[in-house]
A and B are shown apart, each in its own frame.
Chain A
Amino acid sequence: MLHNIAEGFAALFTLENILFLVLGTLVGLIIGALPGLTGNMAIALMVPITYTMSATTGLTFLTAIYCSSIFGGSISAILLGIPGTISSFATTLDGYPMAKQGKAGMALGISTISSVFGGLFSAIILMFLTTVLAEFALKFGPAEYFAVAILGLSCIASIGGKSITKGLLSGFIGLFFAIIGQDPQNGIKRFTFGSIDLLSGVTLVAALIGIFGIISVLKNAEKKTKENGPIPDVDHVWIGWKMCRKLLPTWLRGSIIGTIVGIIPGAGTNVATFLAYDTENKINRTKPKFGEGNPKGIAAPEAANNGVTGGSMVPLLALGVPGNATSALFLGALLLKGLTTGPVLFSEHADVAYSLFLAFFFANVIMAPLGLFILRYMKKILSVPEALLGGIILAFCVTGVFSISSSPFDVLTCIFFGILGYAFYKFDIPTAPLIVCLVLGSMAESNLRQALVANKNSYSFLYTHPVALIVLIISAVSFFVPIISKAVKSARKMRHPDEVKASDLAEETTEEMDDD
């Protein structure tokens, strides 16, 4: 392992990579801070550009955007009371009140250090857990992979936001789009309608750019433009060692919650932030109260949301299952470079895998100084009109999509998925399950059919392979538990209609911007 880390270091520390690490962090910070623009959108727009880079450089760039956009979201959450990305929604609860009390610098300082702490924590977990898991998964055959794909699919029940049914519908529509093209076992054309453009299926990156890029502009089109409120002045941001010591337990709890939630496929960043916030709220004994500007109310969600970043990469890198929309984007970028995820990545391209781990680590380190540097220009950045950005984003989307394989059809795919995503939004259907299933669909089918071949057309592998059986049982549990707990919750609500928890807010906001 040490040898691999050294190799990763060697691959990561080139002038080009460091340049893109810095550039990616700046892009992420700015886009993350701009309300209405999400980190996922930034990553989607940059995927075509990474196509021409080396795999390490491209992934470093995307990693830097991912980590810093999550942190960037907290800047506008604190200064404007509007979360720059949905993952910073919980941060507004205490961050904005604190800024209004004239302690904006302090609030930003806390969010910076908490984010870095959470990010570093998860980067370390990512490195160790992934390699262990991948080593284990090297023995996996089609039966086990089929079970893992089913686990990923069953988790969509929990991403579903308000309605589990609609979450599942979104997932099944994703499965449908995954069918298009030549079938994975016999090359039979399905749903191609004679078009050679559809033979190899829906282009994943084109669909993702449509869903993340185009849809954000369409949503803007129907929304009335709002003027931002006055931005408070930022004084010194260093919070002092005493505060650090006081917040350390909060950071640890937040990071652990964030990383674990990140690893679970489908759970999403905002689940983690509200869980961390609620936990701290319950055990807090310091003043002021939560919701009135308590430092812990910023530290917990910010440590948690950056904790998710590393965690969410674990299932993707170790098993090839993207747990959330962002990791689906990373998968798209990896596939473009001809790399496969899962255990094979570690045996074939250990340098790429380890340099990605290290990129997660260093992206979180340089986030702090760059974040403080960019704070000075934040007022200017936040005053860029959204309307002007809309057109530029669209131009970027279509050009980027076209550039990948010079295919006008991909441009059409991208526009189509933008419209589809907008329709989903109008019908309160979450898009995250669609994206995850678009990737998992062929994995599930192909492995099922391979397993059938290996077992002479008998389904006995479902119970004769212990690992597959255990994973399938976990899938069943993870599918039914949210459904039951939702039923219980709504029953309780009937009896106590006044009780509102922060975590309920999470569900309501999911629907608004579920693309985190």
Chain B
Amino acid sequence: MKKILALTLALILTFALASTALADFPEKEVTIVVPFKAGGNVDLCCRIIADELTKILGQQVIVDDRPGGGAIIGQTYALSQPADGYTMLALTSSFVTNILSGDTEFGMEDATAIGQFCFDPEIVVVGADTGITTIDEFMAAAKAESLTNSTPGFSTSHHIASLIMTEKFGLTPFAYMHTDGSAEQVVQLAGGHAQVGLTTYGGAATLIAEGKIVPLAVCNTERHEALPDVPTMAECGYDFTYGAYRGFAVPAGTPEEVVNKLSAALKEAMESEAVIKAFNDSGFPIMYLDAAAYQTMLDDDFAGMSAIYYLLDEE
């Protein structure tokens, strides 16, 4: 008797919980897990968005930073939470590289995309004293000999972009100097200790303005707002698009209604004045992709990365 009672009770409870979860999500606070340090770019973006999402969803949206292990710790944590939409993961290219590295317990199938909110294109920059001023000159020089390439760290999107570029245009492999962060990376270029680097605008802005490093081309389909005179790779005849992307995902198995609701909320947030202003002020380029488009983009990136991953191992 007791067993049956307990069973019915449990059943009722589950149904009650399940139905409410579907009916009016969210019922409690939503957590965005950021697998990076507080104060970093991803954390800053997420905090801006979380404030707006709080207004849209009518529930507190908080940011939980769980750095370490090359983002694996935070990613593992977020994806092992219940698939109810109350835990979102801030998803970046490191998700794909981590899976390929074989250190993770999760795979591509364990995350469901919510949407992308930011795409920061790579910019090809060289030190001012290299004398290189156009992307064509750069390509010629890079084919002729091995240039020194400074990156903000091993297996960062900037490093990978350089590897893909080398493959695609048949360049002589770069000699890589892996520094600690984008600030150090561009200082090495300005000081003439390395010749070329792929970087995003935020980290290089000061030195570009001072003329110590020269931007050659933007790896995107359109020009960069802050650098209207710098051509895109496509304009110069090179088909190459790459950048650091940031978006959200939830653990796989989250009900579709919840995914749609979060995706719509993200779209609304990215179109709000407050977020647009805050992103512009911080130099984060907004580029919204919905759940399906972001998922496709992730799968494409995974396929592309799998093809060149052996290069990382070889180094």
The reply, when asked whether chain A contacts chain B directly with Cβ atoms under 8 A, is yes
Binary interface encoding of chain B residues 134-174 relative to chain A, with 1 for a CB under 8 A from any of its CBs, else 0: 00000000000000100000110000000000000000000
Residues of B within 8 A of A481 (CB): none
Answer whether residue A142 sits at the interface, using C-beta atoms and an 8 A cutoff: yes
> Bound complex: CA of A185 vs CA of B190, how far in Å?
21
A405's contact among B66, B72, B154, B183, by CB below 8 Å, is which?
B66
> Bound complex: CA of A456 vs CA of B73, how far in Å?
36
Binary interface encoding of chain A residues 429-469 relative to chain B, with 1 for a CB under 8 A from any of its CBs, else 0: 00000000000000000100010011010000000000000
> Bound complex: CA of A336 vs CA of B73, how far in Å?
17
Binary interface encoding of chain B residues 97-127 relative to chain A, with 1 for a CB under 8 A from any of its CBs, else 0: 0000101000000000000000000000000
The answer to whether residues A344 and B187 also contact, given A405-B67, A407-B73 and a CB cut-off of 8 A, is yes
Binary interface encoding of chain A residues 188-206 relative to chain B, with 1 for a CB under 8 A from any of its CBs, else 0: 0100000011111001000
Q: Is the CB of A453 within 8 A of B175?
A: yes
Q: Is the CB of B183 within 8 A of A338?
A: no
| Closest chain A CB from B261 CB (angstroms) | 27
Answer whether residue A479 sits at the interface, using C-beta atoms and an 8 A cutoff: no
> Bound complex: CA of A140 vs CA of B191, how far in Å?
7
Residues of B within 8 A of A407 (CB): 66, 68, 73
The answer to whether residues A336 and B187 also contact, given A184-B180, A187-B154, A453-B176 and a CB cut-off of 8 A, is no
> Bound complex: CA of A407 vs CA of B37, how far in Å?
13
Residues of A within 8 A of B175 (CB): 453-454, 456
The answer to whether residues A51 and B206 also contact, given A142-B193, A182-B154, A454-B175 and a CB cut-off of 8 A, is no
> Bound complex: CA of A376 vs CA of B211, how far in Å?
59
B38's contact among A141, A184, A199, A338, by CB below 8 Å, is which?
A338
Q: Is the CB of B181 within 8 A of A340?
A: yes
Answer whether residue A235 sits at the interface, using C-beta atoms and an 8 A cutoff: no
Q: Is the CB of A340 within 8 A of B68?
A: no
> Bound complex: CA of A55 vs CA of B38, how far in Å?
11
> Bound complex: CA of A139 vs CA of B189, how far in Å?
10
Answer whether residue B194 sits at the interface, using C-beta atoms and an 8 A cutoff: yes
Q: Is the CB of A348 within 8 A of B103?
A: no
Residues of A within 8 A of B181 (CB): 340
Answer whether residue A491 sits at the interface, using C-beta atoms and an 8 A cutoff: no
Q: Closest residue of chain B to A344, judged by CB?
A: B183
Answer whether residue B184 sits at the interface, using C-beta atoms and an 8 A cutoff: yes
> Bound complex: CA of A196 vs CA of B40, how far in Å?
21
| Closest chain B CB from A412 CB (angstroms) | 13
Q: Is the CB of B40 within 8 A of A338?
A: yes
Q: Is the CB of A184 within 8 A of B194?
A: no
The answer to whether residues A450 and B177 also contact, given A199-B68, A340-B184 and a CB cut-off of 8 A, is yes
| Closest chain A CB from B244 CB (angstroms) | 16
Answer whether residue B39 sits at the interface, using C-beta atoms and an 8 A cutoff: yes
> Bound complex: CA of A197 vs CA of B312, how far in Å?
22
Answer whether residue A406 sits at the interface, using C-beta atoms and an 8 A cutoff: yes
> Bound complex: CA of A148 vs CA of B183, how far in Å?
19
Q: Is the CB of B184 within 8 A of A197?
A: no
Q: Is the CB of A197 within 8 A of B68?
A: yes
Answer whether residue B225 sits at the interface, using C-beta atoms and an 8 A cutoff: no
Q: Is the CB of B65 within 8 A of A405?
A: yes
Q: Is the CB of A200 within 8 A of B177?
A: no
> Bound complex: CA of A293 vs CA of B37, how far in Å?
52
Q: How many residues of A contact B (CB 8 A)?
A: 36
Answer whether residue A337 sits at the interface, using C-beta atoms and an 8 A cutoff: yes
Answer whether residue A19 sits at the interface, using C-beta atoms and an 8 A cutoff: no
Q: Closest residue of chain B to A406, judged by CB?
A: B66
Residues of B within 8 A of A182 (CB): 70, 154
Answer whether residue A347 sits at the interface, using C-beta atoms and an 8 A cutoff: yes
Answer whether residue B93 sits at the interface, using C-beta atoms and an 8 A cutoff: no
Residues of B within 8 A of A348 (CB): 183, 206
> Bound complex: CA of A464 vs CA of B191, how far in Å?
16
> Bound complex: CA of A343 vs CA of B148, how far in Å?
22
Answer whether residue A477 sits at the interface, using C-beta atoms and an 8 A cutoff: no
Residues of B within 8 A of A338 (CB): 37-40, 43
> Bound complex: CA of A19 vs CA of B38, how far in Å?
23
The answer to whether residues A454 and B154 also contact, given A186-B315, A340-B184, A348-B183 and a CB cut-off of 8 A, is no
Q: Is the CB of B180 within 8 A of A340?
A: yes
Answer whether residue B178 sits at the interface, using C-beta atoms and an 8 A cutoff: yes
Binary interface encoding of chain A residues 170-187 relative to chain B, with 1 for a CB under 8 A from any of its CBs, else 0: 000000000000101111
> Bound complex: CA of A344 vs CA of B72, how far in Å?
28
Q: Is the CB of A450 within 8 A of B183?
A: no
| Closest chain B CB from A188 CB (angstroms) | 9
Residues of A within 8 A of B188 (CB): 141-142
> Bound complex: CA of A189 vs CA of B72, how far in Å?
14
> Bound complex: CA of A275 vs CA of B69, how far in Å?
45
Answer whether residue B241 sits at the interface, using C-beta atoms and an 8 A cutoff: no
Q: Closest residue of chain A to B184, judged by CB?
A: A344
Answer whether residue A10 sits at the interface, using C-beta atoms and an 8 A cutoff: no
Residues of A within 8 A of B191 (CB): 138-141
Binary interface encoding of chain A residues 314-358 relative to chain B, with 1 for a CB under 8 A from any of its CBs, else 0: 000000000000000000000011111001100110000000000
Q: Is the CB of B155 within 8 A of A187?
A: yes
Answer whether residue B60 sits at the interface, using C-beta atoms and an 8 A cutoff: no
> Bound complex: CA of A406 vs CA of B35, how far in Å?
11
| Closest chain B CB from A443 CB (angstroms) | 9
Q: For window 55-83 of chain B, which residues contact chain A by CB distance below 8 Å?
A: 64-70, 72-73, 76
> Bound complex: CA of A464 vs CA of B190, how far in Å?
20
Residues of B within 8 A of A51 (CB): 38
Q: Closest residue of chain B to A139, judged by CB?
A: B191
Q: Closest residue of chain B to A141, judged by CB?
A: B193
Answer whether residue B179 sits at the interface, using C-beta atoms and an 8 A cutoff: yes
> Bound complex: CA of A450 vs CA of B179, how far in Å?
8
| Closest chain B CB from A462 CB (angstroms) | 15
> Bound complex: CA of A348 vs CA of B181, how far in Å?
12
Residues of B within 8 A of A139 (CB): 191
| Closest chain A CB from B81 CB (angstroms) | 13
> Bound complex: CA of A186 vs CA of B314, how far in Å?
9
| Closest chain B CB from A414 CB (angstroms) | 14
B69's contact among A142, A196, A336, by CB below 8 Å, is which?
A196
The answer to whether residues A453 and B148 also contact, given A184-B178, A338-B37 and a CB cut-off of 8 A, is yes
> Bound complex: CA of A189 vs CA of B184, how far in Å?
23
| Closest chain A CB from B272 CB (angstroms) | 24
Q: Is the CB of B39 within 8 A of A185?
A: no
| Closest chain B CB from A296 CB (angstroms) | 47
> Bound complex: CA of A187 vs CA of B184, how far in Å?
18
> Bound complex: CA of A198 vs CA of B73, how far in Å?
10
> Bound complex: CA of A218 vs CA of B37, how far in Å?
31
By Cβ-Cβ distance, the 7 closest A-B pairs, closest first, are: A141-B193, A338-B39, A199-B69, A187-B154, A196-B69, A344-B183, A450-B177
8 additional A-B pairs beyond A184-B178, A347-B206, beta carbons within 8 Å, are A142-B193, A338-B38, A340-B181, A405-B67, A405-B68, A407-B66, A407-B68, A450-B179
Offer 11 A-B interface pairs, CB within 8 angstroms, sorted by A: A185-B154, A186-B178, A197-B73, A203-B68, A337-B38, A338-B39, A338-B43, A340-B184, A348-B183, A405-B66, A453-B148
Chain B residues within 8 Å of A, Cβ to Cβ: 37-40, 43, 64-70, 72-73, 76, 101, 103, 148, 154-155, 175-181, 183-184, 187-188, 190-194, 206-207, 312, 315
